[in-house]
Structure formats: structure tokens, C-alpha cells
Amino acid sequence: MSAGAVAARHYLDHAATTDVRPEAAAAFADELAHTGNAASSHAAGRAARSRLEDAREEIAAALGADPHEVVLTSGGTEADNLAVKGAWFAARDRRASVGDPRLAPAIVLSAIEHDAIAKAAAWLAASEGATLRTLPVTGEGIVDLDALSALLGADDALPALVTVMLANNETGVIQPIPEVVEAVRAASESLGTRIPVHTDAVQALGKVDVDFGRLGVDALSLSGHKIGAPVGSGALLVRRDVALVPVEHGGGQERSVRSGTLPVAQARALAAAVRAAVAELEAHVAHLAELRARLVHGLERLAKNGELGEVRITGPGPDGTLASHVHLVLPGAHAEALLVGLDLAGVDASSASACHAGVQQPSGVLLAMGYPPDDARCALRLTLGRTSTEADVDAVLAALPAVAAAARRH
Ligand code: PLP
């Protein structure tokens, strides 16, 4: 490298956020050239409203939903909070109005939910008395369907909501949502009520077929910045007959469940990204799968040659995992040291097992999968995206042996 040359960087953290697609950037920029609040009745407002509704229709059409089922949000976190808190408060209010003694409804959630679900539910438990029932996962990180049926009939705190993500953000493991829906429908019938099912599809969208109608769920969260729209765009798809109490109060936009001036630029960018992600699904997954195979074979070769020490790839294998994800445990190599070493070597990667006040915290997802805490501190998540190349994969394979060895000496 010549003096002053900048070393190439390799981004393997597309699950955290990914490149904005040109078509999404163009839609966003075009909207910025317009003025008009989409709730105003004058010509500028009506024009903005029309562009917003076109975007909503596109999002709905691409995802097998009705336009009325699209509630625009600022992203996945807000969509998840609205689903969990909105459904829980609605169930509580409904029970209060009919004098049902089971006033504090339960929430059934998987043990591997993103914090946007897990912490929203924990907040309801701490401040409102919600009962939480946690659905365990297998050693491969898949929700245990037998346990689900038992949880649904566990006691008299009838669930307000069952929420299970479509694919996990750390491991990429895909969850059996149609089977979850079937189990909840069967329990609903025998309990004489309809328990809504929510899925967080933030990581899955663009990497597996996501069709709201066909999945059979009542609500589904998505986030723009994971599929090539800017941060600040997202949606909760939610059936009309699912009651939600608003989390935010104000002007009554978005079916009165999500007040705030309507985000036309974000909606248009989201629509462009959703349309492209759905249209390119097959080609995109093929591209990811090819790169992932190169990465996995490279890791296996390093391990076989004794260059990497012990390494375990989590999950059930390629068919049950998003093609974007390779999630490893490198026993003895703490995540923080791995990430710092890779960063110095020009590789951006991530791990859920964060370091707090100098102490490496184990990944809750790995603990739920039965990994011992020591191993659950040693996770590395490498995630691929639309702009990933073989050079990115080769860079991490070249850097990892020395980085892992140094992390183990740490
Ligand atoms: N749910 C999952 C599974 C995620 O991976 C993320 C982000 O990483 C979120 C929710 C939160 O989405 P957002 O960043 O749009 O708030």
C-alpha cells in the first residue's frame, strides 16, 4: 500500500443497517422538493396525501396486505411497541368493560425476541402487572411449539397477544410462524376468544417471502433501514379487527393509533425499498447464499487446519437460517476483543453480547439456546447484504485467525 493510501473497509454488519437503495433515496429526495402537510385540505395537502396513499398502496400490494392495514411508524421499535402495548391495553380495557375478572392479561413472547418486544413486555409487567409467559427455544434457536400449546392454556391470565419473530436478529434462525398461528387459533377456539398473533419481520423482510395474508398473523412489524430505505421509516401491518390502544396521542393520524404529521418522504422511500426488496427477493437470496457458502466453507477450512481453534456455527444450518447471517461462537474469545480486532483489521462486524463496564455480557439469545454463559460471551455475527462482495468475505477469513488468537490471549 502506498503511503497515505486508505485501507479498504469491509462491512459485514448489514443486519444492523444496510445501504440505502438508489430508488429509495430518489423517492425521498423527490418528496423533499414538495411542501404540504398530508392532513391539510388545500391543494398542496391533497397532493401530499395522494403521494402518501400511493406509497401505502404499494407497501400493501408488495406484502399481501390491504392498504388499510398499513400503519406507518418510524421503524421497527415503534411498530413493536405499538403492537405489544397497544394490544395489551386494548385487552385490559375490553375485559374491564365486560367485568371479566382476568383483568391483567398475559403476553406470550419467545425467549429470543428483540429488545423492542422484550423490553416493551417487561415494562408492561413492571408497571401494569402484565403476566409474561416466555416461549423457550431449542438448542438450534427455534421456538418450541409443544411448549406454546401448554403456555396458551396455562392459567386464567388469558393472553392479550402472542408475539414470535419471523427470524432472529442475532442468529438469523427462521421461526415457524404458520405453525405458531395454527396453535394459537386452536387455543383461541377452545378458549372462546381470538388471541392475536404478532410477528416481528424486521430481519426477515427481503430475505424470505413475507406475505401478510398468507402468514395468517394479525400484526407484523417492519423497518425501512434494514431493506434499503432510510432510518426513520417503518410500519406495523395490522388487521382492522385487532384493537390497539395508541401509544402516542395527538392529531389522530393513522387510524388514531399513531399520531404525528404524516411522514410522506419516509413512506415513499419505504415503498420504493419494499417494492425492490420483494421484486429482487430470489436474486438477492441467491447472491447472499453464494457468499454465505464461501464464508462458511472458509471458516470450516480454517477450523480443520487448526488455524481458528474451536468454532461453532449456531442454528439449524443454511435452510433454516436467513441467507444473510453467519453467527459463530468462538469459545474463549470474548466478543468485544473480537470486534475490536476485526475493526482494526478493517472489518465491521457485530455481536449481541455487549461489554458493560468492562464486563462482557452473555447473549440472551445464546443463553436461551442452552449455551453456557462463558460461550454466550464469545459470539460473532457476520451479516451480508446487497452490496457485499467476495472480497468482504475473504477479508474476514484472512483477519479472523489472528484476531481470534489475540482475543483468546486477552
Ligand atoms: N426487531 C428486530 C428483529 C431488529 O433486528 C431490530 C433492529 O435491529 C428492531 C426490531 C428495531 O428496528 P428499528 O431499528 O427500525 O427500530
* Helix/strand/coil for 116: helix
Ligand 1, residues at Cβ distance < 6 Å = 75-77, 80, 114, 116, 165, 169, 200, 202-203, 223, 225, 234
**Residue nearest (by alpha carbon) to ligand 1 atom 9:** 76
Is residue 331 predicted with pLDDT exceeding 70?
Answer: yes
Separation CA 137–CA 135 (nearest Å): 7
Kindly give the distance from the C-alpha atom of residue 402 to the centroid of ligand 1, in angstroms, as a whole number. Answer: 32
Q: Taking phi first (over 0 means left), then psi (-120 to 50 degrees means alpha), and beta for anything else, what does residue 61 get?
A: alpha
**β-sheet bridge partners, residue 321:** 173
Beta bridge pairs of residue 108? 133, 162
Average pLDDT, rounded, for the chain: 94
pLDDT single digits (tens) 62-101:
999 999 999 999 999 999 999 999 999 999 998 888 877 6
Query: What share of the chain has pLDDT > 70, as a percent?
Result: 95
Residue 243 cell numbers, joined: 384493537
pLDDT given at position 97: 87
Q: Would you say 134 and 109 are in contact if contact means Cβ atoms under 8 Å apart?
A: yes
Q: Locate the ligand 1 atom nearest the alpha carbon of residue 168 and give its number.
A: 3
How far apart CA 205 and CA 367 sit, in angstroms, is 26
Centre of ligand 1 to C-alpha 80, Å, is: 9
User: Which residues, 6 or more positions from 13, have their beta carbon under 8 angstroms from its beta carbon?
Assistant: 348, 349, 350, 381, 383
Dist. CA 239–CA 65, nearest whole Å: 9
The span from the CA of 158 to the CA of 277, in Å, is 37
Closest C-alpha residue for ligand 1 atom 13? 76
CA distance 242 to 53: 21
Q: Which residue in the list 355, 367, 398, 405 is annotated as catalytic?
A: 355
Determine whether 378 is an active site residue.
no
CA of 26 to the centre of ligand 1 (A): 24
Question: What are the helix (H) ranges across 129-263?
Answer: 145-152, 177-191, 212-215
C-alpha closest to that of 78 among 27, 120, 134: 120
CB 92 within 8 Å of CB 104: yes
Q: What is the pTM of this model?
A: 0.96
Cα separation, 367 vs 362, whole angstroms? 7
What one-letter code names the amino acid at 325?
A: H
pLDDT tens, 357-407?
666 789 999 999 999 999 999 999 999 999 999 999 999 999 999 999 999
Phi, psi of 98 (to 5 degrees): -105, 10
Per-residue pLDDT band for 1 (boundaries 50, 70, 90) equals: very low
Q: Whose CA is nearest to atom 5 of ligand 1?
A: 169
Answer yes or no: are the C-beta atoms of 384 and 203 closer than 8 Å: no
In ligand 1, the atom with minimum distance to the C-alpha of 225 is: 15
CA of 148 from ligand 1 middle (Å) equals 24
Beta bridge partners of 237: 70, 220
The residue whose CB lies within 8 Å of the most ligand 1 atoms, and thus the one to mutate among 169, 225, 227, 266, is: 169
* Nearest ligand 1 atom to alpha carbon 78: 16
Q: Which atom of ligand 1 is nearest to the CA of 167?
A: 3
Q: Distance (Å, rounded) from C-alpha 30 to C-alpha 38?
A: 15
Q: How far is the CA of 43 from the centre of ligand 1 (A)?
A: 36
Q: What is the DSSP string of 193-244?
A: S---EEEE-TTTBTTB---HHHHT-SEEEEEGGGTTSPTT-EEEEE-TTS--
| Residue 379 three-state SS | strand
Better-scored residue on pLDDT, 191 or 76: 76
Q: What is the phi/psi pair of residue 4, to 5°?
A: 85, -10
